[in-house]
Amino acid sequence: MALSGIQIYKLLPQTNCKDCGFPTCLAFAMKLAAKQVELAACPHVSEESKETLAESATPPIRLVTLKSNGHEVKAGNEVVLFRHEKAFYHKPGLLIRLRDDLSTEELKKRVSALEAYAVNYVGISLTIDGYAVEATSGNAETFTSAIKNLREISKRPLILITKNVDIQAAGLGLLEGENPLLYAADNDNWEALADLAKKHNAALVVSGSSLEEVAELTEKIKGKGVEDLVIDHKARRLSDSLMFNTQTRRLALKKNFRPLGFPIISFPGDTDDSAKEGILATQAISKYAGFIVLDTYSPEFIYPLLVLRQNIYTDPQKPIQVQPGVYEINDPKPEDPVLVTTNFSITYFSVANEVEGSGLPAWLVVTDAEGMSVLTAWAAGKFDSERIAKDVTRFKVAEKVTRKLLVIPGHVAVLSGELEEELPDWEIRVGPREAVDIPAFMKQAL
């Protein structure tokens, strides 16, 4: 965990020799704490202090990256237990499990569907991150052929699932130059799997039924030189996995307990009820999982989870915003109507998507409402008649149109009178309250 300036000062020689370029060791310590200088600038630090400082500089939860040709998925490096304390940084990877005894045809069908899958949420294209191939067959040839079939279609990162070291080795042989994740090392196979992971630069899941068991294993495996570890608590029930995930996160962050300072992997797909799977995945996203392996892959199942992940991992300090300005939708002409909304991403995209979907041309004025929704901005005084009028003028909207018709959101109908005063040569029209009703409104009323 990061040390304070005073704590760092205690580790320095305290001679104030100025060789580092600072007048005192304390001044240097303060700069170090603020990460504005490198420790190397002090030539006199003891080896012991160097180690302590290096240790304190490593993140309490290791960042583990799975890589393949051109794709990667990262987990770890989190610094808080609650997102409001700062933010959650690395969205958990969502990977779909494929069992190697699927027919070639079925496997290719699923992977093709998933590769084609992308859903647009507030202008961001959301997709799954990769696949977990499980050697259900217990046969190296079947396993490798499943991986080959998958790799014909997808280049995304992989998790290889089998406790059998020979089968793992066969699978890994096909993934030269990648950094996959191997599932899983336990008390029986850890040495051989650690060697394999080391040889192939793979990350390794460490699986155990108690925190103690996992911690002992991670220490032993680290001793073999494998650092990219991921924890599997074997807990599959909601209350158990919530407990393990919370305890692991707390130990890593509050106690800087290195043996558990790794991302966690969850297997919601281990249940055979897809409703339950969705619930387990929902908990995993909000409560500390780093990689999530799913079996169900239908769009109506994946889409809510992708959105939840996006929501929980947005920075609470910065609402996602779009640039204020005039947006042209469906090639508007001077006689087409002007709609006005705020620059909160969700708001903008709800409106823009509906206008676009209507097929009717319009100008969309996005005001600077400091990234707030219509009603929030209105309540906060960031979307009132004055501000709207100011942006209409600032963006020179009047020069773009011949018909001065301005449509305001139905939720702020109260603004229409004042706006008429602020923009006397415009006709102000109150639109529907919800964006869904915009197409019908445009067809009928505009």
Partner 1 sequence: MPIEIPKDSWPGTVNIVTIGATAENGGTRSRTVTVGGEKTLPFLHFEAEIPYPPVTALEIKDRRPDDWSPLLLETWGEVMDNPGSWAKAAEEAGADLLQLSLSLTDKNGNPTTPDTAVAAVKDVLKSSGLPLMVFGPGQAEKDNELLVPIAEATKGERIVLGICEDKNYRTIVATAMANDHLVSGRTPMDVNLAKQLNILIHDMGLPLNRILMDPTTGALGYGIEYGFSAMERLRLAALQGDTMTQLPMIVTPGFEAWKAKEAKVGEDVPKAWGDWLNRAINWETTTAITLMEAGADILVLRHPENVRRVKMAIDELMTIPQTA
Residues 6+ apart with CB under 8 A from 302: 94, 117, 119, 128, 294, 296
In degrees, rounded to 5, the angle at the alpha carbon of residue 349 between the alpha carbons of residues 343 and 350 is 110
371 contributes a contact to ligand B12 by CB under 6 A: yes
- From the CB of 341, what's the least distance to ligand B12, in Å? 3
- Indicate which single residue of 114, 132, 339, 397 sits in contact with ligand B12 (rule: CB under 6 A): 339
Which residues ranging from 379 to 408 are in contact with ligand B12 (CB under 6 A)? 379-380, 407-408
Give dist(CA 286, CA 61) in Å, integer. Answer: 17
Should residue 13 be labelled a site residue for ligand SF4 when binding is judged by CB under 6 A? Answer: yes
The C-alpha angle with vertex 68 and arms to 62 and 73, in degrees rounded to 5, equals: 40
**137 is an interface residue for partner 1 by CB under 8 A:** no
Rg (CA), the chain: 28
Instruction: Indicate whether 255 belongs to the interface with partner 1 (CB under 8 A).
Output: yes
Q: Does 89 bind partner 1 (CB under 8 A)?
A: no
Tell me the torsion sign for CA atoms 191, 194, 200, 205. Answer: positive
Among ligand B12, partner 1, ligand SF4, none, residue 194 binds (CB under 5-8 Å by kind): none
Query: In what helix (H) or strand (E) does residue 11 lie, and over which residues does it extend?
Result: helix 5-11
Under rule CB under 6 A, residue 235 binds ligand SF4: no
Among positions 18, 148, 276, 333, the unique one binding partner 1 when judged by CB under 8 A: 276
419: number of Cβ within 10 Å: 23
The verdict on 22 binding ligand SF4 (CB under 6 A) reads yes
Tell me the two tokens of residue 397: 């909207």
Q: Which two tokens stand for residue 417?
A: 């009178």
Q: Which of residues 304-323 bind ligand B12 (CB under 6 A)?
A: 319
Least distance to ligand B12 from the beta carbon of 402, Å? 20
Q: By CB under 6 A, what part of segment 173-202 binds ligand SF4?
A: none
Between residues 302 and 430, which has the closer beta carbon with respect to partner 1? 302
CB under 8 A: which stretch of 90-98, 152-160, 192-200, 207-215 binds partner 1? 207-215
User: Measuring CA to CA, which residue among 227, 118, 190, 205 is closest to residue 159?
Assistant: 205
Q: Cα separations (Å) of 210 from 231, 233, 260?
A: 11, 7, 11
Binding test (CB under 6 A) with ligand B12, winner from 71, 224, 287, 411: 411
Q: Is residue 25 a contact residue for ligand SF4 (CB under 6 A)?
A: yes
Tell me the closest approach of the beta carbon of residue 325 to partner 1, in angstroms. 23
CA–CA dist 55, 76 (Å, integer): 17
Rule CB under 6 A: is residue 337 a binding residue for ligand B12? no
Determine how many CB atoms are found less than 10 A away from the CB of residue 369: 26
Binding-site member from 69, 212, 434, 445 for ligand B12 (CB under 6 A): 434
User: Is residue 211 involved in binding partner 1 (CB under 8 A)?
Assistant: yes
Q: Does 423 bind ligand SF4 (CB under 6 A)?
A: no
Q: What angle do CA 434, 435, 436 make, to 5 degrees?
A: 90
Residue closest to 321 by CA, chosen among 145, 116, 124, 178: 124
**Chain-centre distance of CA 305, in angstroms?**
11
Count of CB atoms situated within 10 Å of the CB of 381: 10
Comparison of 32 and 160: residue with beta carbon closer to ligand SF4: 32
82 φ, ψ to 5°? -130, 135
d(CA 130, CA 115): 9
- Say which residue the tokens 């924890």 belong to: 231
Interface pick for partner 1 out of 4, 69, 187, 210 (rule CB under 8 A): 210
CA distance 230 to 227: 9
Q: Select from 38, 141, 212, 421 the one that contacts partner 1 (CB under 8 A).
A: 212
In this complex, which beta carbon is closest to ligand B12, that of residue 194 or of residue 329?
Answer: 329
Q: Which is nearer to ligand SF4, 9 or 348 (CB)?
A: 9
- Nearest distance from C-beta of residue 395 to partner 1, angstroms: 27
Closest-CB residue for ligand B12? 431
Give CA–CA dist 441/438, Å, rounded: 5
CA pair distance 29, 35, nearest whole angstrom = 10
Residue ranges binding ligand SF4 (CB under 6 A): 12-13, 15-20, 22, 25, 28, 42, 44
Residue ranges binding ligand B12 (CB under 6 A): 319, 339-341, 344, 346-347, 350-351, 371-376, 378-380, 407-411, 431-432, 434-435, 438
Residue ranges binding partner 1 (CB under 8 A): 82-84, 117-121, 210-212, 215-216, 219, 235, 237-240, 242-243, 246-247, 250-251, 254-255, 257, 259, 275-276, 278-279, 282-283, 286-287, 298-305, 307-308, 311-312, 314, 316, 346, 350, 357, 373, 376, 379, 434-436
